[in-house]
């Protein structure tokens, strides 16, 4: 496995692979890899085949964090990540520096990719500059690694929708694949941020998954219900946990992300919940 720090070196390598007819599968990560990431890496390998090349990018992207968010303390585990990628059969681990990615100073970085429809609600409302950071860094990673396929995780449902829209609108020659969310035995979606939780908070964090299961059960039992009623009930159940505070609970059409006033089976639900000071998200089809 090659470990690559420089954008130019990564572009040369991906150009060489491309000329040799080897499709690239990219898995963009912020590191601190868990089994969910490894599943995405294996998925990328299946997508590009044994003569394809799998690239994992490892970059804690500052532009997708808002002021006061956890950029500074986002977990880093370089040696372990590197070993896990090696063991997973990754061909190149691309881990650029901030200085390479975002030129600073007088002639500093000034170009962004913005998606203005699907990224407005939910995460975009709670984290106003988040998706602009995501679309910008993903566009950069696409230009640097020239992937035929990019694999994203389903836990960030809205992110995948925003990236899919960006790919369509900007005609990026990349196929988006979304890999299923991996869960802990109690149902908590795997996330690098779960490591922030104290043991007591960790037990309460299952509230997100339980809320999705409750919603699914209720909606399937009734066939249809008001989103306001359902949201109220779920919020009560979640906030029965002493350290849990709901940021949002959203019900929407799965493709357009259009907010639904009446929820029926097949609708999608997403939620963000603070457990202590840790913000967790999850989503599922109802």
Q: Give the catalytic positions in this structure.
A: 37
Q: At closest approach, how far in Å is the CB of 20 from its own copies? A: 10
From residue 68 to residue 87, the character string flagging contacts with its own copies as x (rule: CB under 8 A) and all else as - is --------------------
Q: At closest approach, how far in Å is the CB of 148 from its own copies? A: 10
Neighbouring residues of 198: CB distance < 8 A, sequence distance ≥ 6: 276
From residue 118 to residue 157, the character string flagging contacts with its own copies as x (rule: CB under 8 A) and all else as - is x----------------xx--xx--xx-x-----------
> Binding to its own copies by residue 50, rule CB under 8 A?
no
Nearer to its own copies, 170 or 236 (CB): 170
Nearest CA to 189 among 173, 171, 210? 210
DSSP letter at 76? Answer: -
Choosing from 114, 180, 236, 240, the residue that interacts with its own copies (CB under 8 A) is 114
Axis-axis angle for helices 7-19, 130-145 (nearest 10): 50
Q: At closest approach, how far in Å is the CB of 28 from its own copies? A: 14
Are residues 238 and 246 in contact, defined by beta-carbon separation less than 8 angstroms?
yes
Nearer to its own copies, 125 or 210 (CB): 125
Q: Torsions phi, psi of 252, nearest 5?
A: -155, 165
> Binding to its own copies by residue 173, rule CB under 8 A?
yes
CA distance 248 to 238: 11
Q: At closest approach, how far in Å is the CB of 255 from its own copies? A: 8
> Binding to its own copies by residue 48, rule CB under 8 A?
no
> Binding to its own copies by residue 61, rule CB under 8 A?
no
Choosing from 134, 166, 206, 219, the residue that interacts with its own copies (CB under 8 A) is 166
CA distance 42 to 36: 10
Q: Please provide the DSSP assignment of 242-286 as one string.
A: TTEEEEEEEEE-TTT--B-SEE-TT-EEEEEEEETTEEEEEEEE-
# residues near its own copies by CB under 8 A: 37
> Binding to its own copies by residue 259, rule CB under 8 A?
no
Choosing from 72, 104, 111, 199, the residue that interacts with its own copies (CB under 8 A) is 111
Neighbouring residues of 231: CB distance < 8 A, sequence distance ≥ 6: 249, 251
Choosing from 1, 3, 18, 276, the residue that interacts with its own copies (CB under 8 A) is 18
Choosing from 49, 89, 103, 266, the residue that interacts with its own copies (CB under 8 A) is 103
Show the 3-state SS of 118-186. Answer: CCCCCHHHHCCCHHHHHHHHHHHHHHHHCCCEEEEECCCHHHHHHHHHHHHHCCCCCEEEEECCCECCC
Neighbouring residues of 105: CB distance < 8 A, sequence distance ≥ 6: none
Nearer to its own copies, 36 or 52 (CB): 52
What residues make contact with its own copies under the rule CB under 8 A? Answer: 7, 11, 15, 18-19, 21, 103, 106-118, 135-136, 139-140, 143-144, 146, 165-166, 168-173, 255-256
């Amino acid at each position: 496995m090659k470990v690559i720090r420089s954008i130019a070196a990564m572009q040369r390598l991906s150009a060489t692979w491309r000329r040799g007819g080897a499709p690239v599968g990219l898995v963009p990560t912020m590191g601190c890899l868990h089994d969910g990431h490894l599943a995405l890496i294996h998925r990328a390998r299946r997508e590009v085949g044994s003569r394809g090349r799998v690239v994992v990018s490892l970059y804690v992207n500052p532009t997708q964090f808002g002021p006061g968010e956890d950029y500074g303390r986002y977990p880093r585990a370089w040696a372990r990540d590197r070993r896990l990628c090696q063991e997973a059969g990754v061909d190149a681990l691309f881990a650029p520096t901030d200085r390479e990615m975002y030129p600073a100073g007088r002639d500093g970085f000034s170009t962004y990719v913005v998606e203005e429809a699907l990224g407005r609600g939910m995460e975009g409302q709670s984290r106003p500059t988040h998706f602009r950071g995501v679309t910008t860094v993903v566009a950069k990673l696409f230009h640097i690694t020239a992937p035929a396929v990019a694999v994203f995780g389903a836990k960030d449902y809205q992110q995948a929708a925003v990236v899919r829209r960006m790919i369509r609108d900007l005609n990026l020659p990349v196929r988006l694949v979304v890999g299923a969310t991996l869960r802990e035995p109690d149902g908590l979606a795997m996330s690098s941020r779960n490591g922030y939780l104290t043991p007591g908070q960790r037990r309460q964090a299952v509230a997100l998954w339980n809320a999705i299961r409750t919603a699914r059960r209720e909606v399937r039992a009734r066939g249809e219900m008001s989103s306001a009623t359902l949201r109220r009930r779920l919020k009560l159940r979640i906030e029965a946990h002493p350290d849990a505070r709901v940021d949002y609970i959203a019900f929407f059409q799965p493709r357009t992300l259009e907010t639904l006033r009446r929820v029926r089976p097949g609708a999608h639900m997403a939620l963000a919940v603070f457990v202590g000071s840790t913000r967790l998200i999850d989503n599922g089809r109802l």
